[in-house]
Structure 1
Amino acid sequence: MVNISILMGSESDREIANRVTSVLENTEYSFEVEVISAHRNPDKLDEYVSNSDAKIFITIAGLSAALPGVVASKTKKPVIGVPVSAKLGGLDALLSVAQMPPGVPVACVGIDNGANAAHMAIRIMEMNK
């Protein structure tokens, strides 16, 4: 069983995922990292989220940053979005992650701040012990 799932929209987000894992490696919580694009692999993403036993999803995405919202639309589990500074200094991704419609909540951390996403996931896990 995996406690925390870290999803990247593309392999180019690996540096941010490494910031997440470097924090989680020092905890008791298990995690896995997957590359699944909401745009290029929607069926694979749907299957992954539906079958995952993770308690929390950390989603890393730039540009349109659709991944956090798509994941949040498919689960009731907490979703943390990490906007990536791929273009426009990451402002486009930040706004995409932060401006979710009612009923599709995504917790949003700062641009490229994978470490804070990990710290937020740890706090959520600690509350549910």
Structure 2
Amino acid sequence: MSDKKKVAVIMGSDSDLPVLKNTINTLKSFGIPVETHIMSAHRTPAQACEFSSHARENGFGVIIAAAGKAAHLAGVLAAHTTLPVIGIPIKASTLDGLDALLSTVQMPKGIPVATVAIDGADNAAILAAQMLAIADEELAQQLAQMKENMTAEVVAKDQKLQQEL
């Protein structure tokens, strides 16, 4: 069995999947094992608590939780684990995701949730990878290469712009 830590990607509803596909694909591109579930802080709170309270012993290193509206999922999961939890507020209501952002980021002392932008799926995956890379040199090198590639892309775009102008 692999000693690589897994990342749990938990969504509050199947309607969150279109946003979370980016998270899952980015994690997989780094070779990070991913397990995905639907759990609700309000409709299946016992299941969410059970999952997060046993996540460390079940081989997880990070939990990513995405929810819209009254987005309490990340906080409920964080309350039952010592693993890092990353919240993705989902734009799912008439408030353009601001309600989910505030519900995710405004956590009480002792129950932190690292929160990315509304629908910030890629950054959630990259942040999870960076957390795991603290103890995984190969993953750290992959992240460094990703940043080098981003730099090269911006430089190339600037050069193209300069030629066009």
Same fold (TM over 0.5): yes
Aligned length: 129
SS at match of 1:59: strand
- 1:91 match: 98
Structure 1 counterpart of 2:27: 24
- Give the TM-score of the pair, scaled to structure 1: 0.95
Specify every segment of 5 or more residues in structure 1 that has no aligned partner in the other structure, as ranges.
none
Deviation at 1:113, TM superposition (A): 1.0
Distance 2:88 2:131 in 1: 16
When Rg is computed on C-alpha atoms for both structures, the one with the higher figure is: 2
Equivalent residue, structure 2, for 1:76: 82
Show CA shifts across 1:13-72 (max 9, x none). Answer: 011210101111211210111001111001111121122221100000000100010011
So what's the TM-score if we normalise by structure 2?
Answer: 0.75
DSSP 3-state at the match of 1:64: coil
Q: Which has the higher contact order (CA 8 A, sep 6+)?
A: 1
Of the candidates 102, 115, 132, which is equivalent to residue 125 of structure 1? Answer: 132
Map 1:1-129 → 2, pairs under 5 A: 3-52=6-55, 53=58, 54-87=60-93, 88-129=95-136
**Percent identical residues:** 40
One-letter amino acid of the structure 2 residue matched with residue 101 of structure 1: P
Task: Report the Cα distance in structure 1 between the residues aligned to 2:106 and 2:135, rounded to whole angstroms.
Answer: 27
Alpha-carbon distance between aligned partners in 2 of 1:84 and 1:75, rounded to the nearest angstrom: 22
CA distance in 2, matches of 1:45, 1:14: 18
* Gaps in structure 2 of 5+ consecutive residues: 137-165
The code of the aligned residue for 1:24 comes to L
